[in-house]
Amino acid sequence: MILPKDLMLGGELSVQGTHLGNLSSFQYHSNRLDLLSDRTDFEFDLNLLDCEVPSLEITDPLPTLNLDCQVPSPSGSYDHYSSSSDMMSPMMFSPGSTSSISSTTSAIKSSPIKSRPNPYQRVFSSLDSPFSPLVMSDSVKEFRQLQASVNVKIEPINQMKNDTPLLRQYLIQERIPVVDEDVKIEPVISMAVEQVKRDIQATCNLLCIGHDPCLWSKEDVARWIQWTMQHYGILAENPFDCDGSDLVKLTENDFLLRLPEGGDLLYAQMDIWRSSAEYNRSEMEQILPPPEQFVHSSGNEGYSSSSSSIKNESRFDISAVLDILDANSPSTNMYETNGCMSDTTLGSPCSMDGMNTSSVNSPSSICTSPPPPYSMAISQLNRNNAVNVVKPASNIPPEDEETDDTDDDDIAVKIPTIKTSTTNIHLWQFVKELLLHPDLYSGCIHWMDREKGIFKIVDSVKVATLWGKRKNRPAMNYDKLSRSLRQYYKKGIMKKTERSQRLVYQFCHPYHL
């Protein structure tokens, strides 16, 4: 179940008269109910029950909220909502999942539960929950004792300094309790902001667009729209024929008018990007002296250009910092384990069965989104930061620097790649890149079943050649490339197709998304 984004929690949580702290969040997962307060985290295993889960009563100032959820049956499960998903991949719900949640709360009614990824959740997916869960599912008896009633008194969340819808959303979804004013909120804000930056940076790298939507060209907008729609499974033509400055002026209604199915999601994403850009601007204004002062203090006339250019360069300085953060992120490791992450860990590739955990998706019901396809690329940014400062993410692919005029180059040049990710890109990412540009590469590789991630290499020589150019391996051939692809079988990135077919490979969920 997804908490409506405008539902504010924070009131007292008591179970059978025992005060358990202030409720920060509650969630239904496929097999458990989580109640989270600022003191601890209660987890109930629904599989141990043959009865309905306890009802939650939320009293003033909000209307009563009655959640009447059925224990999952073998044929269905509750919508799954986990907090550890990886950023660059959409979190999905199991297509077969069902939910029987009824509510009398206006907030809930105004926010119908949809089997779609929550854009806010996706963005903030990679942060660890600050809670150490207290698992109480070992004993049915214990649960039955607690089952009697859970009374939640809701009190308005105190206004936070620097509060923004973005941060509030993060606090709620990442189970970070909203507390009294005297509690330090800065570290939490910092975490949220850094995570947003990291996610956005990754997307920028992937799409070769700037961080600030206001500065996007029409092409940038189209690229971002296409990418976002694809990741949210929105099947429609891009209805936005405008540049970034016009895009950011659109309201949610404007988005919905243009895109009734999914316009709200796109708007939410745009809102995040816009907020982040504004935050960056304010941050830069604090960090950077005025242009004139810059010139005076540094003596470098190179900085005497317009303030906008200075901001632009600074933006990439920040990227370098984010790269360092990214390099230290546990997300990569998460992918490599079993592909699934718990709610309290960072995203990993998981299954689309349960929405969940960041980063790309697997059959397990716990995980959710795929590992960020750009993680490696980002990790290289720091090393190549100098390049970035001079030439921010551009559409100039590595091939541009070569003098080779072969047809392959002509094609490769069109691929929007990032200089910094040129040689560190993973093969599966490269393959996806080709697959995502059927207009350019359908002649050598194409999807056979996009939903299942099955694709066919039509021209093995060309694909290998392109890969070799990207990796600066002139001796690359299909034999070597296919060997690398087969390595992905063990890693869970790809799998053998049901029926062995020549030159046909299949991505594991959710790497193809």
Q: Please list, in sequence order, all residues whose beta carbon lies within 8 angstroms of the beta carbon of residue 281, skipping any fewer than 6 positions away.
A: 212, 311
Q: Which is nearer to DNA, 153 or 491 (CB)?
A: 491
Cβ closer to DNA: 263 or 371? Answer: 371
CB of 185 to DNA, least distance (A): 35
Q: Which is nearer to DNA, 208 or 425 (CB)?
A: 425
Indicate the residue among 150 and 334 with the shorter CB distance to DNA.
334
How is residue 360 written in tokens? 């790309």
Which residue lies nearer to DNA by CB, 132 or 500? 500
Considering the complex, what minimum distance in angstroms separates the CB of residue 332 from DNA?
7
Helix (H, G, I), strand (E, B) or coil at 151: strand
CB of residue 486 to DNA, shortest distance in Å: 5
DSSP state of 498: S
Cβ(122)–Cβ(90) below 8 Å: yes
What's the rounded Cα separation, in Å, for the pair 23 and 57? 12
* Three-state secondary structure of 196-257: HHHHHHHHHHHHCCCCCHHHCCHHHHHHHHHHHHHHCCCCCCCCCCCCHHHHCCCCHHHHHH
Non-local (6+) Cβ contacts of 187 within 8 A are: none
Report in angstroms how near the CB of residue 372 gets to DNA at its nearest. Answer: 12
Cβ at position 405, least distance to DNA in Å: 23
Handedness of CA 165, 167, 168, 169 (dihedral sign): positive
- Tell me how far, at minimum, the Cβ of 361 lies from DNA, in Å: 17
Minimal distance, residue 453 CB to DNA, in Å: 15
Closest listed residue to residue 12, CA positions, set 133, 179, 125, 172: 179
CB atoms within 10 A of CB 336: 12
Cα-based distances in Å from 505 to 419, 438, 446: 28, 17, 11
Name the residue nearer to DNA (CB basis): 249 or 383. 383
Task: Report the nearest approach of DNA to the CB of residue 317 (Å).
Answer: 20
Chain residues in the site for DNA (CB under 7 A): 332, 336, 376, 380, 383, 424-428, 460, 467, 471, 473, 475-476, 478-484, 486-487, 489, 491, 496, 500, 502-504
Query: In whole angstroms, how far apart are CA 82 and each of 77, 177, 236, 344?
Result: 14, 17, 27, 8
- How far is it, in rounded angstroms, from Cα 368 to Cα 92? 7
Pick the closer one to DNA by CB: 202 or 221.
202
Measured between alpha carbons, how far is residue 37 from residues 6, 19, 99 in Å?
18, 10, 24
Q: How far is the CB of 439 from DNA (least distance, A)?
A: 24
Q: What's the CA gap between 310 and 175, in Å, rounded?
A: 37
Please give the full DSSP string across 165-199, using - where no structure is assigned. Answer: HHHHHHHHHTTPPP--TTS--HHHHHHHHHHHHHH
Task: Name which of 204 and 464 has its Cβ closer to DNA.
Answer: 464
Nearer to DNA, 406 or 487 (CB): 487
